[in-house]
A = this chain, B = another copy of it.
Amino acid sequence: MVDETIIRSLAVKTTSKIVLLVMDGVGGLRVDGKTELEAAHTPHLDELAARSICGVADPVSPGITPGSGPGHLGMFGYDPLLYEIGRGVLEALGIGMELGKSDVVARGNFATMDQKGIIVDRRAGRIPTEKNMELCALLQKEIQEIEGVQVEVRHGKEHRFVLRFMKAGLDGRIEDTDPQREGHPPKTPTPLVPEAEHTAEIIKLFVERANRVLQDHHPANTVLLRGISQIPAIPSMSDLFKLSPACIATYPMYKGLARLVGMEILETGEGIVDEFKTLKKHYKEFDYFFLHIKKTDSYGEDGNFEKKVEVIEEVDRHLPVLLELDPDVIAVTGDHSTPSLLKGHSWHPNPFMLCSKYERIDDVQEFAEAACVKGGLGRLLAVHEMPLMLASALKLEKFGA
């Protein structure tokens, strides 16, 4: 496979513009004979498909269901097998933390420990979010720093929180403390490499202090940590692809992922209409836009076929705003499929369409799974989408003499 080093050596700065429209989890499975995309009335998406080259893209590899991290990295042109985003980092991005390079973050659970130190409930009976907020505030008040390392505790929903350690030189290569099963004691934070020994010691001290703070707060009398991690060292899109990229998204996690690869995050409103308005407003300032629609995925996760169809139709109604800007390249796809039937992410490839006057337009007339399978791009890997977008925007020079 062509790697980023090669793409970097070929990419050139030009005035052409690329818009990548991502409907999160848009791909589906048929219910009563139609997928969500097939059921939706989408005249603008279909008209765009008619003048695009289409295909289906595996986010990672056939059969592999991606999380949001690998799903987006692939579309952004980064091999998702090469850049791993830890669970802690993803959770932190999800609540809008702006992570520094050396920050170490973890996903935390409040849990219940018995008198012998055995975990009897890994989720502390799923305490209400209000209790969680209260306990996080207490932990934050009592543990502001450990041996010069600044500590931040931020609540999530129910028993979940995000824990951050801030100081230059920290190393997140440390095993989970969560034993994954009840009936076992929490594990000691164990460094996976010698460089992480000091950080593991800090985390161990945190757990000890948290246990003292929480001792009278049964069932939430201890914490379990998972996905201890740091943001991966990842080259920026401007470095690799010579792009000035911007992100339009409403959910923190996607803004966070975009920030990881060096996109500028544009202020936008909560609605799909706002996102398209934001694209129009800033259109002159950047040459690559990632426009992310969240609710296709949310309704897919809920198993709500009808609502997922409605979101697709809403995107379709606003598509003319994008079309009128007439970018050199428009790509439309998902980061992974979220069939309502499965109520979760799936392994099925994403429909993908690429509209450019320099592509070989096929005879696909509809933006949907089965139609795109018959398109001119056939089946591809998501990581190849960026080179294709760059090429059809005439932003890639010739490889080799």
Residues of A within 8 A of B (CB): 1-2, 6, 10, 29-30, 35, 56, 60-70, 80-81, 84-87, 89-91, 227, 341-342, 344-348, 358-363, 369-370, 373-374, 376-380, 384, 386-392, 396-401
Contacts and interface: CB of A to CB of B under 8 A. Distances in A.
A360 B29 contact: yes
A309 B381 CA distance: 33
A62 B387 contact: yes
Contacts of A344: 398
A163 B392 CA distance: 36
A71 B84 CA distance: 32
A341 B358 CA distance: 8
A401 B227 contact: yes
- CB-based closest 8 A-B pairs: A63-B387, A378-B379, A90-B401, A2-B61, A87-B401, A62-B384, A67-B400, A70-B400
Contacts of A396: 63-65, 347
Contacts of A390: 63
A188 to B, nearest CB: 22
B380 A380 contact: no
A93 to B, nearest CB: 10
A65 B397 contact: yes
A314 B397 CA distance: 31
A23 B87 CA distance: 43
25 contacts: A1-B81, A2-B61, A6-B64, A6-B81, A10-B64, A29-B359, A60-B400, A62-B384, A63-B387, A63-B391, A64-B387, A64-B399, A65-B396, A66-B398, A66-B400, A70-B400, A87-B401, A345-B398, A346-B391, A347-B391, A347-B396, A374-B374, A377-B379, A378-B378, A379-B379
Given A61-B2, A65-B396, A384-B61, A86 B30 contact: no
Given A376-B370, A378-B378, A91 B401 contact: yes
B388 A2 contact: no
A98 to B, nearest CB: 18
Contacts of A391: 63-65, 346-347
